[in-house]
């Protein structure tokens, strides 16, 4: 990579500020820099220290590294990883999209009446932007990957900046029973938002390795649950039992929502030195009457350079097998939030980000009755036109003969309640 003309490389670095800083810092964290992850040591005692590349089905196949250098990985043939050379190649050859015309991403007034009194027989969702949702079902209020800050970046003066403001401030939120965090990238785990919310939230659910970061941000230790893939915790449902009785939920004394940390295909890191030192996850929430799936940030397959989506069927590339697994074990889901944006260039993004085609396949795999698109229209992190993901999503649904309203993109701030048949 260093044989490229110096001028082009330095101009590539010059463009790495602003929107690309987040991905650059994360993607270029070379695995040569092995640091101990103290938060993971507890679970490491149960894990094999070094896993064979072939042993993808081992329950700890995603743990890797020797003692004192604990890391995580995607243990599937569908995953590939890119290094610094690929980041530079993208920067040189990529085309930054134009910002959309003002008003093309309208912010809708949130339906506060519905948020304060969510229908007891539905899963209600409000899109805050990017991967942040308020999800209400079975008497619990859940926030996903909340970010209310102006930028998703290690610094406040540079890095990807919102193109749509948050629809409301954090103090407008109702009681929050749980926050679920998918991984530690800046667009999913934001220090300013965590500090603003820390006294309002009942429980914080994070994948392995993120607990200590939350404690450093002032969250009380008793409020943090850190889980490995397929581990779970029971979130008590205490405050709205009456509502559940109204819709005939089983009152068997075990009135809780199972919060299950489930796999996905991604990576982690907040600096050059902590690549994959903390785990990434999707989350499956199984309540007494409703089931919700949050895909987090994920890829579905790795598409080599030069391969078009129209060739995928013929090429039969490996797909990430966990989504079918999740659907069989924990589905069907009444609502799923699935990423549909940040996918161009496809050769570079596909291992870690779904495009709408991948998202529709994932929606089918997990057995989602109703899905909502996320990870688009809020921060510009990639090269596709900003307004393209929902358009492509509709085309993919059409191509698979699925109803267009089965997987939708919301407007920022919009609240929707979904009722589905058992
Ligand atoms: Zn990410």
Which parts of 336-381 fold into alpha helices (H)?
346-349, 356-365
What does the pLDDT read at residue 237?
83
Question: How far does residue 145's CA lie from ligand 1's centre (Å)?
Answer: 11
Parallel/antiparallel/unpaired status of strands 335-339 and 224-227: unpaired
d(CA 59, CA 64): 12
Q: And the tokens for 25?
A: 């810092």
Query: What percent of the chain lies above the pLDDT cut of 70?
Result: 82
Which range is least confidently modeled, 36-45, 252-261, 287-296?
36-45
Q: And the tokens for 257?
A: 């929502």
Quick: pLDDT tens for 236-247.
886 544 444 545
Please say if the pLDDT value at position 75 is more than 80: yes
Per-residue pLDDT band at 196 (split at 50, 70, 90) = very high
What does the pLDDT read at residue 245?
53
What does the pLDDT read at residue 60?
86
Question: How far does residue 412's CA lie from ligand 1's centre (Å)?
Answer: 20
CB within 8 Å of 294: residues ≥ 6 apart = 133, 135, 144, 145, 180, 182, 282, 283, 284, 285, 336, 337
What does the pLDDT read at residue 339?
98
Selection from 63-77, 86-100, 193-207 with the highest mean pLDDT: 193-207
Per-residue pLDDT band at 82 (split at 50, 70, 90) = confident
Per-residue pLDDT band at 167 (split at 50, 70, 90) = very high
Q: Is 122 helix (H, G, I), strand (E, B) or coil?
A: coil
Which range is least confidently modeled, 68-82, 216-230, 232-246?
232-246
Question: How far does residue 185's CA lie from ligand 1's centre (Å)?
Answer: 5
The residues with which 179 forms a beta bridge, in sequence order, are 143, 204
Parallel/antiparallel/unpaired status of strands 71-72 and 63-64: antiparallel
Quick: pLDDT tens for 356-412.
999 999 999 999 999 999 999 999 999 999 999 999 999 999 999 999 999 999 999
Judging by beta carbons within 10 Å of its beta carbon (0-12, 13-18, 19+), is residue 174 exposed, middle or buried?
Answer: middle
Question: How far does residue 296's CA lie from ligand 1's centre (Å)?
Answer: 8
What does the pLDDT read at residue 18?
38
Q: Which domains are present in the chain? A: 112-418 (3.60.15.10)
Question: How far does residue 267's CA lie from ligand 1's centre (Å)?
Answer: 7
Which range is least confidently modeled, 16-25, 309-318, 407-416?
16-25
Quick: pLDDT tens for 88-107.
898 888 888 989 988 899 99
Question: How far does residue 143's CA lie from ligand 1's centre (Å)?
Answer: 17
The number of beta carbons lying within 10 Å of the beta carbon of residue 153 is 22
What does the pLDDT read at residue 116?
96
Question: How far does residue 183's CA lie from ligand 1's centre (Å)?
Answer: 7
Answer whether 232's CB lies under 8 Å from 261's CB.
Answer: yes
What does the pLDDT read at residue 5?
32
| Rg of the chain (C-alpha set) | 21
Q: Say if residue 416 is preceded by a cis peptide, omega within 30 of 0.
A: no
Query: What percent of the chain lies above the pLDDT cut of 90?
Result: 70
Per-residue pLDDT band at 421 (split at 50, 70, 90) = low
pTM: 0.86
Q: Is 412 helix (H, G, I), strand (E, B) or coil?
A: strand
Q: Is 125 helix (H, G, I), strand (E, B) or coil?
A: strand
Q: And the tokens for 398?
A: 């059409």
Question: How far does residue 99's CA lie from ligand 1's centre (Å)?
Answer: 22
Question: How far does residue 184's CA lie from ligand 1's centre (Å)?
Answer: 7
Question: How far does residue 288's CA lie from ligand 1's centre (Å)?
Answer: 31
Averaged pLDDT of the chain: 85
CB within 8 Å of 41: residues ≥ 6 apart = 70
Question: How far does residue 374's CA lie from ligand 1's centre (Å)?
Answer: 13
What does the pLDDT read at residue 59?
81
The residues with which 226 forms a beta bridge, in sequence order, are 206
Average pLDDT on 263-278 reads: 94
What does the pLDDT read at residue 54?
52
Per-residue pLDDT band at 349 (split at 50, 70, 90) = very high
Question: How far does residue 248's CA lie from ligand 1's centre (Å)?
Answer: 39
Please say if the pLDDT value at position 224 is more than 50: yes
Q: Is 129 helix (H, G, I), strand (E, B) or coil?
A: strand
d(CA 280, CA 263): 7
Helix (H) or strand (E) holding 223: none
Q: And the tokens for 392?
A: 């492509």
Average pLDDT on 4-23 reads: 38
Which range is least confidently modeled, 44-48, 222-226, 337-341?
44-48
CB within 8 Å of 129: residues ≥ 6 apart = 147, 162, 164, 166, 167, 377, 378, 412
C-alpha pair distances (Å), 352 with each of 91, 251, 312: 17, 41, 17
Question: How far does residue 360's CA lie from ligand 1's centre (Å)?
Answer: 19
Question: How far does residue 344's CA lie from ligand 1's centre (Å)?
Answer: 15
d(CA 65, CA 277): 10
DSSP label of 107: B
Question: How far does residue 246's CA lie from ligand 1's centre (Å)?
Answer: 40
What does the pLDDT read at residue 47?
30
d(CA 206, CA 228): 9
d(CA 144, CA 113): 21
Question: How far does residue 192's CA lie from ligand 1's centre (Å)?
Answer: 18
Question: How far does residue 274's CA lie from ligand 1's centre (Å)?
Answer: 14
CB within 8 Å of 311: residues ≥ 6 apart = none
Question: How far does residue 257's CA lie from ligand 1's centre (Å)?
Answer: 26
Question: How far does residue 159's CA lie from ligand 1's centre (Å)?
Answer: 15
The residues with which 137 forms a beta bridge, in sequence order, are 140
Q: And the tokens for 249?
A: 């939920």
Question: How far does residue 266's CA lie from ligand 1's centre (Å)?
Answer: 7
């Amino acid at each position: 990579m260093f044989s490229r003309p110096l001028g082009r490389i330095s101009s590539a670095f010059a463009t790495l500020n602003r929107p690309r800083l987040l991905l650059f810092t994360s993607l270029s964290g070379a695995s040569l820099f092995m640091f101990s992850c103290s938060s993971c040591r507890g679970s490491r005692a149960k894990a094999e220290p070094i896993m064979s590349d072939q042993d993808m089905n081992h329950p700890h196949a995603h743990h890797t590294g020797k003692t004192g250098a604990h890391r995580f990985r995607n243990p599937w043939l569908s995953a590939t990883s890119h290094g610094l050379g690929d980041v530079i190649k993208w920067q040189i050859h990529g085309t930054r999209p134009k910002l959309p015309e003002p008003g093309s991403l309208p912010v809708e007034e949130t339906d506060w009446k519905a948020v304060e009194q969510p229908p007891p027989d539905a899963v209600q969702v409000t899109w805050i932007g990017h991967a942040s949702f308020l999800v209400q079902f079975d008497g619990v209020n859940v926030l996903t990957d909340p970010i209310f800050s102006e930028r998703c970046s290690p610094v406040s003066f540079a890095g990807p900046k919102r193109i749509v403001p948050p629809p409301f401030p954090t103090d407008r939120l109702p009681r929050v029973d749980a926050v679920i965090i998918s991984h530690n990238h800046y667009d999913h785990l934001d220090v300013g938002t965590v500090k603003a919310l820390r006294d309002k939230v009942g429980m914080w659910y994070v994948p392995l390795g993120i607990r200590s970061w939350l404690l450093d941000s002032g969250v009380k230790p008793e409020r943090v649950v850190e889980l490995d893939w397929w581990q779970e915790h029971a979130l008590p449902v205490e405050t709205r039992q009456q509502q559940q009785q109204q819709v005939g939920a089983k009152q068997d004394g075990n009135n809780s929502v199972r919060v299950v940390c489930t796999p996905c295909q991604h990576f982690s890191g907040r600096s050059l030195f902590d690549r994959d030192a903390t785990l990434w996850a999707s989350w499956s929430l199984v309540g007494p009457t409703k089931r919700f799936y949050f895909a987090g940030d994920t890829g579905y397959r790795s598409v080599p350079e030069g391969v078009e989506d129209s060739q995928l069927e013929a090429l039969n590339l490996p797909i990430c097998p966990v989504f079918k697994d999740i659907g069989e074990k924990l589905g069907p889901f009444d609502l799923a939030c699935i990423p549909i944006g940040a996918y161009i260039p496809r050769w570079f993004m596909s291992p870690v980000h779904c495009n709408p085609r991948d998202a529709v396949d994932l929606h089918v795999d997990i057995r989602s009755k109703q899905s909502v698109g996320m990870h688009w229209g809020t921060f510009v992190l990639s090269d596709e036109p900003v307004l393209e993901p929902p358009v492509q999503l509709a085309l993919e649904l059409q191509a698979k003969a699925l109803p267009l309203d089965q997987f939708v993109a919301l407007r920022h701030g919009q609240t929707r309640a979904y009722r589905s048949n058992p």
